[in-house]
Structure 1
Amino acid sequence: MTLRLSRLLILAAATLAAFAPAQAERIKDLGNFQGLRSNQLTGYGIVVGLAGTGDDSLDYATQGMKGIASRFGLALPASINPALKNAAAVMVTADIPAFAKPGQKLDITVSAMGKAKSLRGGTLLMMPLQGADGQIYAMAQGNLAVGGLGVDAADGSKITVNVPTAGRIPGGATVEREVAAGFATTPEVLFNLAEADLTTVARVADSINARFPGRARAIDAATVAIVAPPGAETRTMLMGQIEDLLVDPADAPARVIVNARTGTVVINGAVRIAPAAVSHGKLTVRVNENYKVSQPEAFSQGGTAIVPKSGITVDEEKRPMFRFAPGASLSDIVKAVNAIGASPADLVAILEALKQAGAMKAELIVL
């Protein structure tokens, strides 16, 4: 584990050292224009054609099947409750991108709602996909591609591979209504950074003004307002030119990321250590339980007995204290950790102690 940790830290140090200087990035890679985003669609449907792995006779599945049958003029008596072993009630989800036009195709995900054991081999019947406003934006239908597999035997044993109760239909939905972006009529076009940063947002505004003088201004740590003439065509051309402008983003803040579940520790290149001395040892307590046979003395009334004999030993590993010089960098931390052979748990304890002592000016994030 220690060797693995050392290799990971050395690799992280080498990677960060190689990319230490800020690299110019396109504005489109730093964020997106407000309003130009995908929207989520959901719907309720019925999958048929299953090989006896459906919902059987769940009420919401039978109601859905009766509703579908009524579309074709087939009215099932209220007293009949069909056993839907070959059908399943499902929820369908999809993302409709900005500027999607009627007739374009969307990929959809189909997930079972009830007792269905597998959707393999099923066909989704035509159903609507609605947005958060309750309007229908797409219609979905098609044959499912299921990556999972589930098999049950007569004696009750079963085997399941991946998730057989969810699948996808590539191009399974057709857009019926366009989502209004609204960017063509707003007084200004707003560009939002993916990560708020005062330095980066100012540089984005400066880069836009260098190409289009007087059009951009930073209104907060995440948003740049851009003055643009009205009209979708004019604004689309302007926004396309702005997206390809280059910006030198600000250096990332000093952060140490710790995944407590996997023992992974990532330290970025901005972390610096103030002068500090660290000593980290290990205390091991061992308890050995043995037994011996106790014999009574001659002519005594006692009997032979088994008597426990315990032994307790305490070992404290002696490790030398190491010192961080002023402004110690990531490579210095890696060298010190390798020198003492610290495990991931030891490294986390050292970093937490440095943070509490005020010697590490970095954000410590525990996942």
Structure 2
Amino acid sequence: MKRVLACLLAGALVLGGLPSLASADNAVTRIKDIAKVQGVRSNQLMGYGLVVGLNGSGDSNKSTETVQSIVNMLKTYGVAVNQGSLKSSNVAAVMVTATLPPFVREGDTIDTTISSLGDAKSIQGGTLLQTPLKAGNGNVYAVAQGPVSTGGFQAGRGGNNSTATKNFPTVGMTPNGAIVERTVEDDLGTNGRISLSLAHPDFTTATRMAAAINSQYGNVAHAVNPGRIDLNIPSYFRGNVVGFVASIEELPIIPDNVAKIVVSERTGTIVMGGDVSVDEIAITQGGLSIRVQKNENANQPDPFSYGTTIVTKNTDVTVTEDKASTVVLPATANINDIVGALNAVGATPRDIISILQAMKAAGAIHAELQLI
């Protein structure tokens, strides 16, 4: 038990043997980097369309949705076709996605991403036909159309041994390929008030932010909850809300963070905040090695006898235990003390993860432990 606890402490704070371990004190930052104006956000758009002009790399006739889409499209142009005889190898059904930024106006252009929906091998060199892009409310906010750029390719035909593929030729982009048809109205400060949302809600950080704003503009800010601050726009800024927001974003603040240790078991990385504290504890680490070796011996009979050769198996078990290293840390230990102690005992990444979990269970380390 003593060895486990010792190993525990060693692991919680050891640098040597870890791919990386980082710690940092809270630094001064801008309000702009930790908060944003409420309501100023992007919107996701999506649409279903067809990419044409493919050189036989489109969907096969097994993709019935593609064949049906071609038939429906041609009907709108007064062209009647027999669905059973239609070949779709030059066409691919795709999903078109885009992000509508805030404050865009009608006529602005945005980028789109085109992803194959059927069994097309590549949409390289194709052209996206006019595709309405809808938001979650079902309204059309943009229309996409244009040539598709994949950044990859597929060369050759036939089986796996006769083709070469680079990147993902079934996913492409159309830069500035969608035209905004409807504006999302953003009422910024029309009622004389705006709100700020914290990226990471925290009582202390919200209080500090409100105090920093009030020290600059008077009693205009109020922390409603850990994640939101309401502001009354000063009268001399009522006609320049953008300037008011810009001046607030540049105000310096020291955000407060919860003492936390983040451990990635996959990579052996430990990231530790500077507020982590440890109670007085003894750390012991020793290595126990068990080696099992099997040998086979052949026993030969005497000459001119009627005996037979017999093969015997011998197993040797050797147990060795390295001398344990013990380090005692006082209750005032900080990150530097812990790192030095863990380097001294030589804990491995596997030891460290076990040590951290045991320390947390024993209440010896005062921090939130998060495994990712």
- After TM superposition, the score normalised by the length of structure 2 is 0.87
Is residue 31 of structure 1 aligned with residue 35 of structure 2? yes
Is residue 239 of structure 1 aligned with residue 245 of structure 2? yes
Provide the residue aligned with 1:95 in structure 2.
99
Query: How do residues 1-367 of structure 1 correspond to structure 2 at under 5 angstroms?
Result: 5=17, 8-9=20-21, 12=22, 16=24, 20=25, 22-23=27-28, 25-57=29-61, 58-77=63-82, 79-157=83-161, 158-185=163-190, 188-228=193-233, 234-250=240-256, 252-296=257-301, 302-367=307-372
Q: Distance in 1 between matches of 2:286 and 2:80?
A: 78
> Would the aligned equivalents of 1:41 and 1:130 in 2 still touch at CA under 8 Å?
yes
Q: Distance in 1 between matches of 2:170 and 2:362?
A: 51
Q: Distance in 2 between matches of 1:291 and 1:184?
A: 86
Q: CA deviation at 1:153?
A: 4.3
Q: Distance in 1 between matches of 2:252 and 2:15?
A: 41
After TM superposition, the structure 1 stretch with the greater mean CA deviation from structure 2, 85-94 or 329-338, is 329-338
Q: Distance in 2 between matches of 1:319 and 1:285?
A: 16
Q: For 2:197, what is the secondary structure of its paired residue?
A: strand
> Aligned AA for 1:307?
T
- The change in CA–CA distance for 1:128 and 1:232 in structure 2 (over 3 A counts) is farther
Q: For 1:321, what is the secondary structure of its paired residue?
A: strand
Q: CA deviation at 1:244?
A: 2.6
Q: Distance in 1 between matches of 2:108 and 2:220?
A: 35
Q: For 1:199, what is the secondary structure of its paired residue?
A: helix
Q: For 1:279, what is the secondary structure of its paired residue?
A: strand
Q: Distance in 1 between matches of 2:239 and 2:41?
A: 18
Q: Cα deviation per residue 1:177-221 (whole Å; 9 max; x = unaligned)?
A: 001224445574221100011111011111222233222111111
- The change in CA–CA distance for 1:266 and 1:3 in structure 2 (over 3 A counts) is closer
- After TM superposition, the score normalised by the length of structure 1 is 0.88
Q: Distance in 1 between matches of 2:206 and 2:322?
A: 51
Q: CA deviation at 1:327?
A: 2.1
> Would the aligned equivalents of 1:6 and 1:338 in 2 still touch at CA under 8 Å?
no
- The change in CA–CA distance for 1:40 and 1:147 in structure 2 (over 3 A counts) is same
Q: Distance in 1 between matches of 2:370 and 2:345?
A: 24
> Would the aligned equivalents of 1:265 and 1:344 in 2 still touch at CA under 8 Å?
no
> Would the aligned equivalents of 1:62 and 1:81 in 2 still touch at CA under 8 Å?
no
> Would the aligned equivalents of 1:183 and 1:232 in 2 still touch at CA under 8 Å?
no
Q: For 2:292, what is the secondary structure of its paired residue?
A: strand
Q: Distance in 2 between matches of 1:295 and 1:28?
A: 85
> Aligned AA for 1:75?
A
> Would the aligned equivalents of 1:41 and 1:95 in 2 still touch at CA under 8 Å?
yes
Q: Cα deviation per residue 1:65-114 (whole Å; 9 max; x = unaligned)?
A: 2233234332323x444221111111111111111101111011111111
Q: Distance in 2 between matches of 1:227 and 1:72?
A: 56
Q: Distance in 1 between matches of 2:26 and 2:60?
A: 62
Q: CA deviation at 1:242?
A: 2.4
- The change in CA–CA distance for 1:33 and 1:325 in structure 2 (over 3 A counts) is same
> Aligned AA for 1:203?
R
- The change in CA–CA distance for 1:333 and 1:161 in structure 2 (over 3 A counts) is farther
> Aligned AA for 2:20?
L
> Would the aligned equivalents of 1:151 and 1:159 in 2 still touch at CA under 8 Å?
yes
